[in-house]
Structure 1
Amino acid sequence: MGVIAQAQQQPNVLIIHTDDLGYHDLSITGSELYNTPNIDALANQSVQFTNAYSSYPRCTPSRYGMMTGTYPVNEDKGHLGGIPEEKNMVKQFDNAGYETAFIGKWHLGEGDSDPKGFGYDYSYAAGKAGSVGQRYYPFNVKANGKEAKEIVPDVQEDSKEGDYISDVMTGATIDFIKNQAGKKPFMAVLAFYAVHTPLEAKKEDKKRNKKQLESMTFEGPDYLPQGAGRNKQHQDNADYAGMVENVDENVGRLMQTLKDLGIDKNTIIVFSSDHGGLSNDGNKGERELATSNLPLKAGKGWLYEGGIRVPLFVKWANELQPRVDTESIILGMDIFPTLLDLTIDKKIDGLDGKSFEGVLRGTDNWSDRTVFWNSRKARPHSTGDANMSVVRSGDYKLVVYNKEKKSELYNLKEDGGELNDLSQSNPAKTAELTKILKNWKKEYLVPEKMDIWKNYRAEQKQKEKKKAGNKKDKN
Structure 2
Amino acid sequence: MKFRVVYVLLVAGLLNTACKSAGDQPITDAASAAKPNILIIHVDDLGYHDLSFTGSEIYQTPNIDRFAKEAVVFTNAYANYPRCVPSRYAMMTGGYPIKDGDVPDDGFEMNTVSDTKNYIKQIDASGYQTAYFGKWHLGGGANNPQGFGFDTSVAAGAAGSPMSYLYPINTPKGKGQPKKEPIPDVDALEQEGDYLTDLLTNQVLDYIKNRDTKQPFMAMLAFYAVHQPIEAKEADTQRNQAEIAAHDFGNLPEYIEEGTGRTKMRQDNAEYAAMVENMDANVGRILKLLDELDLDENTLVLLSSDHGGLSNDGTKKRQLATSNYPLRAGKGWLYEGGIKVPLFARWKTKLQPHTTDRLTLLMDVFPTLLDLTQSKTLETDGQSFLPALQGRESEANRMVYWHSPNARPANTGDTPSSAIRVGDYKLINWYKEGRFELYNLKQDPFEQTDLSKTMPDKVNELAQALNDWKANL
One fold, TM greater than 0.5? yes
Task: Give the secondary-structure state (helix, strand or coil) at the position aligned to 1:352.
Answer: coil
User: Counterpart of 2:286?
Assistant: 254
Q: Mind listing any 5+ residue stretches in structure 2 that lack a counterpart?
A: 1-11, 15-32
Kindly state the Cα deviation for residue 110 of structure 1 after the two structures are TM-superposed.
2.1
User: Counterpart of 1:14?
Assistant: 39
Of residues 38-47 and 20-29 in structure 1, the stretch that sits farther from structure 2 once superposed is 38-47
Task: Name the CA distance, whole Å, in 2 between partners of 1:99 and 1:381.
Answer: 43
Task: Name the CA distance, whole Å, in 1 between partners of 2:212 and 2:234.
Answer: 35
Query: Are residues 52 and 407 of structure 1, via their aligned partners in 2, closer, same or farther at CA, if it must alter by over 3 Å?
Result: same
Task: Name the CA distance, whole Å, in 1 between partners of 2:89 and 2:111.
Answer: 12
Task: Name the CA distance, whole Å, in 1 between partners of 2:338 and 2:47.
Answer: 8
* Match runs of 1:73-472 below 5 Å: 73=98, 74-75=103-104, 76-144=106-174, 148-180=179-211, 182-218=213-249, 219-283=251-315, 285-325=316-356, 327-348=357-378, 350-444=379-473
Kindly state the Cα deviation for residue 181 of structure 1 after the two structures are TM-superposed.
5.6
Q: Deviations over 1:125-159 (max 9, x none)?
A: 10010011111111111113779520001112111
Q: Deviations over 1:336-384 (max 9, x none)?
A: 1101111222211x20111111111111232532100001000101100
User: Counterpart of 2:27?
Assistant: none
State the one-letter code of the partner of 1:296: L
User: Counterpart of 1:35?
Assistant: 60
Kindly state the Cα deviation for residue 318 of structure 1 after the two structures are TM-superposed.
2.7
Task: Name the CA distance, whole Å, in 2 between partners of 1:298 and 1:304.
Answer: 6
State the one-letter code of the partner of 2:282: N
Q: In terms of Rg, which structure is larger?
A: 1
Task: Name the CA distance, whole Å, in 2 between partners of 1:167 and 1:268.
Answer: 22
Q: Deviations over 1:33-67 (max 9, x none)?
A: 00000001111111111110001000000000001
CA contact (8 A) 1:396 1:410 kept: yes
State the one-letter code of the partner of 1:346: K
C-alpha RMSD over aligned residues: 1.6
Query: Are residues 365 and 443 of structure 1, via their aligned partners in 2, closer, same or farther at CA, if it must alter by over 3 Å?
Result: farther
Of residues 144-153 and 328-337 in structure 1, the stretch that sits farther from structure 2 once superposed is 144-153
Kindly state the Cα deviation for residue 9 of structure 1 after the two structures are TM-superposed.
2.4
**TM, length-normalised to structure 2:** 0.90
State the one-letter code of the partner of 1:275: H
User: Counterpart of 1:473?
Assistant: none
Query: Are residues 367 and 93 of structure 1, via their aligned partners in 2, closer, same or farther at CA, if it must alter by over 3 Å?
Result: closer
Percent sequence identity is: 53
Kindly state the Cα deviation for residue 5 of structure 1 after the two structures are TM-superposed.
7.6
**TM, length-normalised to structure 1:** 0.90
* Count of matched residue positions in the alignment of Structure 1 and Structure 2: 437
Query: Are residues 330 and 147 of structure 1, via their aligned partners in 2, closer, same or farther at CA, if it must alter by over 3 Å?
Result: closer
State the one-letter code of the partner of 1:279: S
CA contact (8 A) 1:281 1:384 kept: yes
- Deviation above 3 Å: which 4+ runs of structure 1? 144-148
Task: Name the CA distance, whole Å, in 2 between partners of 1:292 and 1:265.
Answer: 35
Task: Name the CA distance, whole Å, in 2 between partners of 1:5 and 1:51.
Answer: 26
Task: Name the CA distance, whole Å, in 1 between partners of 2:131 and 2:471.
Answer: 37
Q: In proportion to residue count, which structure has more helix?
A: 1
CA contact (8 A) 2:13 2:300 kept: no
Kindly state the Cα deviation for residue 425 of structure 1 after the two structures are TM-superposed.
0.8
User: Counterpart of 2:22?
Assistant: none
State the one-letter code of the partner of 1:228: T
Q: Deviations over 1:51-95 (max 9, x none)?
A: 100010000000000011111133224211011111110001111
Q: Does 1:65 align with 2:90?
A: yes
Q: Does 1:49 align with 2:74?
A: yes
